[in-house]
Amino acid sequence: MTADLATITGIDAPTGLLIGGQWSAGRAGTLPVIDPATEEPVTEVADASPEDALDAVAAAADALPGWAARPPRERAECLRRAYELMIGRSEQLARLMVVENGKALRDARGEIAYAAEFFRWYAEEAVRVDGSLSVAPSGANRIMVTRQPVGVSYLITPWNFPAAMATRKIGPALAAGCTVLLKPAAETPLTALAIAGLLAEAGVPDGVVNVLPTAKPGPMTHAVLADPRVRKLSFTGSTEVGRMLLKQAADYVTNCSMELGGNAPFVVLEDADIDAAVNGALLAKMRNGGEACTAANRFYVHEKVASEFSAGLASRLAALKVGPGLDEGVELGPLVNADTRDKVARLVDSATTAGAAVLTGGRAPDRVGYYYQPTVLDNVPAGAGMLAEEIFGPVAPIVRFTSEAEAIALANSTEYGLVSYVYSGDLRRALRIADALEAGMVGINRGVVSDPAAPFGGVKQSGLGREGAHDGLLEYTETKYIAVDW
Ligand code: NAD
């Protein structure tokens, strides 16, 4: 790592591959890490080849029997120590994340706290891997059900939450007794490597956690999934890549958990507290600069309150301080890379050409860094691309509706089903609507739903399985039934 990076972050972040407890060079050379605020490389990390990944599979397979046999309490204590270490170094980790991802420091601090909670939660869950015993209906035998670790698990994470998406997988995998290969996104390998370093410090044995940044995830993933020792794929990323990985995994009938894209509707009914709805919208839209799978992507607002809501949201977004994520008081940093910014610009331009009204923002500012202005668009026409695909940026499209039934139909008119938000002064009504929304999660009068103790995940093409809660632990176990002649 460069001296500069160490000075900026206060942490000596590792830059090698982690395989079998050793930090090593990558057979594919190195890959640069770019600071989105300067568009300049800040350091390079080792680039893993498919052969490196197979070495990691071997290390994880060797470590598996020992780790699975460890008393659950010992596995729990490793995770608990990792939680303490992460909290102790949260400021340094947050700064490291800002350098590679661009997000505002306050968002990075929030993410580190959230990410560490997955270690604490799964330290508590590691001792609660239960089974059952029942009498067969015929009375002839007893049905004993136990849970075993699924085995070597391949974890693929996106760049938008470099810490939390890693701990949300590593925590339950280790708690269940699995060993893992983590493939972080090429944009954000540093946070993942630093977290792996903490786990080693916390006493996690060599080979239990292996980390493989790569510039070419395709060939590496082919090699890993084809290895029969790998029994689990847990992926967080776009629906497009998730679909492709499910097809590959089908060849080996690999156990899959998929946390995919979202297109969250944010419904504001005419009886909502509009100040509260604007506050919630700000969180649901702007947490992580809009680069969140849970980001409100479509605002459906009742025509009676639409003007008040849009004016309120526009004035709050216009007031946000935009700049390099590490600068004091900055509330919105740059997007992660040029492609992401250009996609946002393309979606806004096509919506405004089709007739949407710009209430604030509407373009990329003329400065170095992958910035986009916080933007509110009103009266976005039904066919606009931004209502159908993830914007993944600081843009809030508003559509007006006249009836509750129309709002529900609009909210459900997507192949995605991760999260939905509803604002209403009538809780009964909001609960009725929550029932009708096709989503794995619903926020009622709240702009944030994420909680390590809650089951996170989507329906439809937003995913398969759940992370967090007890459900997240079960994703890393296989059920075994033993028939006992009593
Ligand atoms: P992405 O799908 O492009 O990449 C995700 C990961 O997959 C990265 O590590 C990437 O290197 C890897 N990848 C890409 N191509 C691959 C291939 N051919 N084989 C194997 N791995 C490959 O997504 P992204 O742009 O990094 O992240 C944003 C997406 O993630 C959004 O769609 C967002 O909604 C989604 N996301 C979902 C959740 C959730 O919990 N549902 C959470 C965060 C992000």
| Same domain (yes/no): 363, 423 | yes
pLDDT digits (tens, 9 = 90+) for 349-379: 999 999 999 999 999 999 999 999 999 999 9
Residue nearest (by alpha carbon) to ligand 1 atom 6: 158
Q: What is the CATH number of the domain that holds 143?
A: 3.40.605.10
Res 70: pLDDT: 98
Substitution site in 165, 240, 241 for ligand 1 pocket (most atoms within 8 Å of beta carbon): 241
User: How many domains are there within the chain?
Assistant: 2
With a CB cutoff of 8 Å and minimum separation 6, the contacts of 8 are 95, 99, 326
Q: Nearest 5°: CA angle at 228, between 179 and 254?
A: 80
133 located within any domain: yes
Q: What is the CATH number of the domain that holds 269?
A: 3.40.309.10
Looking at ligand 1, which atom is closest to the CA of residue 456?
Answer: 40
Rounded to whole angstroms, how far apart are CA atoms 452 and 455?
Answer: 8
Note whether 201 and 83 are within 8 A (CB). no
Substitution site in 190, 212, 293, 475 for ligand 1 pocket (most atoms within 8 Å of beta carbon): 293
Looking at ligand 1, which atom is closest to the CA of residue 340?
Answer: 25
| Same domain (yes/no): 7, 148 | yes
Catalytic pick among 293, 331, 438, 475: 293
187 included as an active-site residue: no
Catalytic pick among 117, 259, 438, 475: 259
77 located within any domain: yes
Ligand 1 centroid – CA 158 distance (Å): 4
Residue type present at position 83? Y
Ligand 1 centroid – CA 184 distance (Å): 9
Note whether 326 and 98 are within 8 A (CB). yes
Res 123: pLDDT: 98
Res 21: pLDDT: 98
457 located within any domain: no
Note whether 254 and 232 are within 8 A (CB). yes
293 included as an active-site residue: yes
| Same domain (yes/no): 222, 341 | no
Ligand 1 centroid – CA 163 distance (Å): 14
Res 407: pLDDT: 98
240 located within any domain: yes
| Same domain (yes/no): 476, 446 | no
| Same domain (yes/no): 309, 250 | no
What is the DSSP secondary structure assignment for residue 322, as one 8-state letter?
B
| Same domain (yes/no): 354, 236 | no
Res 4: pLDDT: 85
Residue from 70, 250, 253, 265 nearest 149 by CA? 70
Residue nearest (by alpha carbon) to ligand 1 atom 18: 218
Please give all residues whose beta carbon lies within 6 A of any atom in ligand 1, as ranges. 156-161, 165, 183, 185-186, 217-218, 221, 236-238, 241, 259-262, 293, 390, 418, 458, 463
64 located within any domain: yes
Domain around 161: 2-261+462-484
| Same domain (yes/no): 297, 435 | yes
| Same domain (yes/no): 213, 286 | no
Ligand 1 centroid – CA 300 distance (Å): 27
Looking at ligand 1, which atom is closest to the CA of residue 418?
Answer: 41
Res 169: pLDDT: 99
| Same domain (yes/no): 213, 281 | no
Rounded to whole angstroms, how far apart are CA atoms 133 and 127?
Answer: 18
Ligand 1 centroid – CA 305 distance (Å): 36
Which residues of the chain fall short of a pLDDT of 50?
1-2
| Same domain (yes/no): 377, 388 | yes
Res 485: pLDDT: 87
146 located within any domain: yes
456 located within any domain: no
| Same domain (yes/no): 355, 393 | yes
| Same domain (yes/no): 273, 125 | no
Ligand 1 centroid – CA 154 distance (Å): 14
